[in-house]
Structure 1
């Protein structure tokens, strides 16, 4: 409750003698008023009783005492500035202690009401104008200070949230990269590792990505993951997706994908793998990344992807001395992305031309023409099981990029 003179001038000289005299008569009551506030009036506020005793008896009482005395003495411009910094500092402390903002602000308004009652009771006949002037000063002071305190509280709260978020990201990065976790807080038991890939339109506004949209997307997905597992999930996410690490978890809840889709929109791909402990997290992270990549490369629809669903493709996409040669089989199709997409969809649909046509919104004859051209350019025969396997491997290895294919 920082209340300072807010008239045209500062200090006692800014008040009329009648106003100064009325304020001076109330000043001896400051200690008693502060005690009544801290141990009486504030007890009416829901949640105040649960605050630690030292916060109520020392911090809040001292703040009330200082605020009341500051107002009644008629603060100078310099002392007002110092007082504002003092009360903003106290607000930051309350934020750090997780005191609810509504409770903090109500201590100021309630304190102002108690001070007004004291001033009214102390006023005598002929002091109505002085009392009205003090009321105006009090309203102005409360308006100014409540705004400053609220801003300081929110700034500190935002800083604390950002710090906690970065600590979570740092822990997740360390685990995913196999580095020691700061503070020695690495999980000792089983860990569930997730890989997420968002749809292309998840963070697009107009024709370009919006940084604001990316931040909102990440916050929504983080909140969804926390909700899925009922705890703060360690995650490293950006506009494309990322990884999450969930200590003491072994299975992906059935509603996980739906909740993440609600947060990120359609097109979310999700894979999960268990790790035996912190040291095993990097392996699980690589596995989930591969499962998601291979599922996308083979043309599977966005969903929860599992290793069992792509066992053959996973095996075919492992790098070897022949990987670059296999990937090169589709090099003649590089300038014809529609042929590559048709081939991928055709293999995903178990070489059912009508199903391929439905997925691509084409006539079956158009599918036949595209496949014929793809075979002509690549030299592969899609009626030959061996060439079908080579085509599938070439698609997977081409998606993997030069780091895998040599």
Structure 2
């Protein structure tokens, strides 16, 4: 067998190349210089290695050349399945050629050679897969590095054009800066499921779905409850549709704060989105995508000033009555609708009336009087802002 392969080696190299072009999809579209160059060299090398298998080889060093070749094909965009198919076609051509001259009494030898060929193909395909895997890891690492450098540059407000690299990242004129906050998935409350695992799975589904909807890479700064996204596509309506789909897959409530920003404005837009989402969550707003205009009054009332602590102090007497404070928050959020408030708090509407009267007695602010409502709303926002600030310390 070895002698036959050596004698007809040149013929077999040509026969394998012809077979690849005719029978393996994609090889007929490869440049002729690639067929005549690297592909021919790899076929030549692989055919020379097979006899070594019959003697217990080939060595890892001999196979490493095939790994390097596979990495080059991956870099050129040749699919791995195409390369795998080529090795199997080449083995078939060589085997058919050799077995054509086999005599009946050589059947046992033929079986030995067939088994050896399968062993050889296992080593070949493992080497090829290693080449593609190594290339994939390298490319992904390079892409991740470019994205992280660009993210850091945008958030720092400088050097973003240089950080984007030559072609991997788009030099977007306008970015959509988005702060996403995801609530708890039901699995996170299941005592039979590790909450950390359930939370990470939820966030991975969210990220995968968002990435899937954008052709240009989305830059992520992850957090335990979601993260900050920079999207080189400033269409807010599209973002709303994408987040609706992502929310379904994540299986958890989702809120987002968004604003458009030029590259040099991203550094200021990111903390703004963090503040907007704080307002949204602190005021109990429903799921959705919010811009500053949607929460402008609440946002302004939360800003640090001498008046903020004074406003917060107007409801200080409710600190010893958490059920009254909770009732006031819910009643304000439901638009002062006593029945909706009662439903959310799971109490009778008359209980709401009694609590509102008690709040008026303790604070001097009557939630049933329209002229007191702006002050009550401002006081609630100020208290939520101070609690949030204390929680971050």
**Do residues 220 (structure 1) and 205 (structure 2) align?**
yes
1:193 is matched with 177
Post-superposition CA distance 1:105-135 (Å, at most 9, x none)? 1112111111211211243464333222211
108 and 353 in structure 1: CA distance in 2 versus 1, 3 angstrom threshold: same
274 and 120 in structure 1: CA distance in 2 versus 1, 3 angstrom threshold: same
Distance 2:30 2:153 in 1: 36
Post-superposition CA distance 1:136-190 (Å, at most 9, x none)? 1101221343244335533542453344234324322321332423734383522
More helix per residue: 2
1:47 CA displacement: 2.4
TM-score (norm 1): 0.81
127 and 188 in structure 1: CA distance in 2 versus 1, 3 angstrom threshold: closer
Q: Pick the aligned partner of 1:345 from 311, 325, 330.
A: 330
2:59 is matched with 80
1:85-234 maps to which residues of 2 (within 5 A)? Answer: 85-124=64-103, 126-154=105-133, 156-181=135-160, 183-185=162-164, 187=171, 189-201=173-185, 204=188, 206=190, 208-210=194-196, 214=200, 216-234=201-219
Give the secondary structure class of the aligned counterpart of 1:192: strand
2:232 is matched with 247
Distance 1:181 1:53 in 2: 41
2:167 is matched with none
**Do residues 70 (structure 1) and 41 (structure 2) align?**
no
**Do residues 257 (structure 1) and 257 (structure 2) align?**
no
**Do residues 359 (structure 1) and 359 (structure 2) align?**
no
1:61 CA displacement: 2.2
Q: Pick the aligned partner of 1:401 from 382, 389, 393.
A: 389
Moved more, 314-323 or 105-114: 314-323
1:197 CA displacement: 0.8
Is the CA contact (8 Å cut-off) linking 2:301 and 2:308 kept in structure 1? no
Moved more, 42-51 or 352-361: 42-51
Moved more, 306-315 or 140-149: 140-149
TM-score (norm 2): 0.83
Post-superposition CA distance 1:228-281 (Å, at most 9, x none)? 444322222344111222225243315123122123223110222111x21111
Post-superposition CA distance 1:79-115 (Å, at most 9, x none)? 4221233323333333333322211211121111112
- Mark the runs of 5 or more structure 1 residues left unpaired by the alignment: 1-21
2:375 is matched with 387
**Do residues 293 (structure 1) and 278 (structure 2) align?**
yes
1:356 CA displacement: 1.5
**Do residues 283 (structure 1) and 268 (structure 2) align?**
yes
**Do residues 316 (structure 1) and 295 (structure 2) align?**
no
Is the CA contact (8 Å cut-off) linking 1:236 and 1:243 kept in structure 2? yes
1:27 CA displacement: 1.6
256 and 311 in structure 1: CA distance in 2 versus 1, 3 angstrom threshold: same
Is the CA contact (8 Å cut-off) linking 1:105 and 1:146 kept in structure 2? yes
Count residues in correspondence. 382
202 and 27 in structure 1: CA distance in 2 versus 1, 3 angstrom threshold: farther
1:273 is matched with 259
